[in-house]
Amino acid sequence: MESLKRIGKSPTAVIGLILLILVIGMALSAPYLFPRDPLSLAGRPLQWPFANSRFWLGTDTTGRDIAAQIFHGARVSLLIGLVATALAITIGIVVGAVAGYYGGVVDDVLMRVTEAFQTLPNFLLLLVLVAVFGTDIKTVTIAIGLVSWPASARLTRAEFLSLRSREFVQACRTLGMRDIQIIFREILPNALPPVIVYASVIMAVAILLESSLAFLSLSDPNVPSWGNLIGTGRSVLRTQWYVSAIPGGAILLTVLAVSLVGQGLNDALNPRLKSR
């Protein structure tokens, strides 16, 4: 409860929450405000924003409604962000927990694998995965999750290393609890706060990764993704720059919202930083 109060006091966290609620609102209202397929032809191409009251954000190069794409794009971005983050965090927690709890050879092997993932630039790995498994939206989401887990694994491992020899863990062992029970029911809840905070960073990066892929037209072309729209607008950048500018602003606000909320969470859950 006290943490919640502290979130309420920090202005950045409040701004972040408002922005985030706004984006979530856009995502939820999209099917009601824009019931038509956002990728279908809506009107004359390349109408400037506010020029036609039917398309208040204008239309893109092929005459699709930009506002509809922005609203539906919020769904895509949030969904990809959430699913990829959940996947990355899950892998990270399992790998980090097992490595930190058992130590020794298991730790060595798992950390080598983590290192291998960290040595390779994650966007390059993402390119390879997309090249191999295709650009379907599900594949892209899973691929983003697969390249984003190493940092959370390291974080979980560090927490486990410091927690595994505490008294309460020894007590659990004396009680004869199984390892799985100790790891997931006893230690994990204590190790979770920093990992949860880090999840906001992963989500912000995941949204940026998807938009970069979509911009390079290596993501699913059949989904109204903000990155796709920016890529489309690139061909008319010199004259109709708004086609690229608008979705970029949407990405910026969403990522900003996610990282502000994450920072607010961090300040609230980490009392040592209170004075800063």
Partner 1 sequence: MRILLLALRRAASSLPTLLILLIGLFLLLQLAPGDTVDALVAQIGGGDPKMIEELRRFYGLDVSVAVQLGRYVWRLLQLDLGFSAIYGKPVSAVILERLPATLLLMGSSLSFAFAAGMALGVFSARRVNKWPDTIISTLGLVFYATPSFWFGLMGIVIFAVHLGWLPAGGLEEIGAGYTGLRRILDIAWHLVLPTLTLALIFLATYLRIMRASMLEVLTLDFVRTARAKGLSPGRVVSRHVLRNALLPMVTLIGLQAGTMLGGSVVVESVFALPGLGRLAYEAVVQRDLNTLLGIVFVSALLVIAVNFIVDILYARLDPRIVT
Q: What is the rounded distance in angstroms from the CA atom of residue 170 to the CA atom of residue 165?
A: 7
Q: Which is nearer to partner 1, 5 or 276 (CB)?
A: 276
First to last CA, the chain: 21
The residue type found at 22 is L
CB of 185 to partner 1, least distance (A): 33
If one asks whether residue 261 binds partner 1 (CB under 8 A), the answer comes out as no
DSSP-derived letter for residue 30 is H
Q: Which is nearer to partner 1, 122 or 156 (CB)?
A: 122
Q: What is the rounded distance in angstroms from the CA atom of residue 130 to the CA atom of residue 139?
A: 8
The Cβ of residue 210 has, within 10 Å, a number of other Cβ atoms equal to 30
If one asks whether residue 21 binds partner 1 (CB under 8 A), the answer comes out as no
CB of 265 to partner 1, least distance (A): 15
Contact characters 55-94, partner 1, x per CB under 8 A? ----------------------------------------
Ramachandran region, residue 223 (left: φ > 0; alpha: ψ -120 to 50; beta: rest): beta
CB of 99 to partner 1, least distance (A): 15
If one asks whether residue 238 binds partner 1 (CB under 8 A), the answer comes out as yes
| C-beta contacts of 121-124 below 8 A and 24+ residues apart | 122/147, 122/148, 122/209, 123/147, 123/209, 123/212
Contact characters 181-210, partner 1, x per CB under 8 A? -----------------------x---x--
CB of 115 to partner 1, least distance (A): 5
Q: Which is nearer to partner 1, 50 or 133 (CB)?
A: 133
Tokens of 26: 């856009």
The residue type found at 233 is G
Q: What is the rounded distance in angstroms from the CA atom of residue 256 to the CA atom of residue 22?
A: 12
If one asks whether residue 237 binds partner 1 (CB under 8 A), the answer comes out as yes
Q: Which is nearer to partner 1, 37 or 115 (CB)?
A: 115
Cα angle 231, 138, 243; round to 5: 20
Per CB under 8 A, contacts with partner 1 among 239-258 are 241, 244-245, 248, 251-253, 255-256
Q: In whole angstroms, how far apart are CA 149 and each of 30, 90, 156, 182, 241? A: 31, 8, 11, 23, 36
Tokens of 48: 């400037």
If one asks whether residue 33 binds partner 1 (CB under 8 A), the answer comes out as no
CB of 1 to partner 1, least distance (A): 26
Per CB under 8 A, contacts with partner 1 among 105-164 are 112-113, 115-116, 118-134
If one asks whether residue 18 binds partner 1 (CB under 8 A), the answer comes out as no
3-class secondary structure, 9: helix
Q: Which residues bind partner 1 (CB under 8 A)?
A: 12, 112-113, 115-116, 118-134, 204, 208, 211-212, 215-216, 218, 227, 230, 234, 237-238, 241, 244-245, 248, 251-253, 255-256, 259-260, 263, 276
